[in-house]
Copies of this chain bind each other. A is one copy, B any other.
Amino acid sequence: MNVFIIHAHPEPRSLNGALTALAVETLTAAGHAVEVSDLYAMGWKAVADGGDFLARHEPERLAYADESAHAFRDGTQAADVAAEQAKLLRADAVILQFPLWWFSMPAILKGWFDRVYAYGFAYGVGPHEGERWGDRYGEGTLRGRRALVSMTVGGREPHYSARGVNGALEDVLFPIQHGTLFYPGMSVLDPFVVYQCSRLSPERWEEVAAAYRARLAGLFTDPVIPYRRQNGGHYDARQVLKPGLGAGESGTRLHLLRPGEPPEAPLG
């Protein structure tokens, strides 16, 4: 299988660097083909602007989504953007490797999504009318691919527990896992997280490496997060969860399938 790692850390000799090196080695040894976009090493352009379009549909006023739609359709996207889209399309699994900074991705990785996730590629896909608001959340261009967040965190695990002060990890990551990976159709695994990542002892690194190897071994077989599909019949025409579903839950957990609920409509 093809695995695409998007790596976002400024220091090659960091824990993030070690984890990506371990993933390349482990996955290659298992017979997979691995491609890495090392965003810092590539000098990735993080900031979305008019320079992302080789021809401007409306030169006077930049409406980024509109220009993105035209450029994606007409083949006038910046070459670096088109190249990353091709890597996503080739991939059977996508791994994001990054340090959690301010409860989100580093800017260079956020800018990768801002620019690579074009209109017509990752959003604005499928009809947006009547009861259907696009092919998204479980459907879309990247359907059939798996996604894994591998992340280092400075803080301690209890701070991210269900009642921890930082918010539960699943809530902190919801904009990424649900809003960015599941949105264009990928199936999303539980994240791999190294807490208290600063100055790991050699013993602790061995534990972390073993744990990551186990997760990499399950990349194509581990169960994925059971997010509800937008078009699976659980949301109404306003894209609001129908009454009776998610009983007893609130917040982001409403969007997880629960045992005993009516099954979703099969994928078209």
Contacts and interface: CB of A to CB of B under 8 A. Distances in A.
Interface stretch (A19-27, A87-95, A243-251): A243-251
Contacts of A241: 163-165
B165 A239 contact: yes
A63 B61 CA distance: 40
A106 B107 CA distance: 8
Contacts of A180: 102-103
Interface in A230-268: 230, 235, 238-241, 246, 249-255
A220 interface: no
Interface residues of A, number: 66
Tell which of A117, A165, A180 has the most Cβ of chain B within 10 Å.
A165
Given A111-B107, A175-B104, A167 B235 contact: no
Nearest to A175: B103
Given A159-B239, A165-B239, A61 B13 contact: yes
Given A64-B10, A171-B251, A253-B251, A230 B103 contact: no
Nearest to A183: B102
A151 B47 CA distance: 18
Contacts of A210: none
Contacts of A255: 165, 167
9 contacts: A10-B64, A11-B61, A101-B113, A103-B179, A104-B110, A156-B239, A165-B241, A167-B252, A250-B253
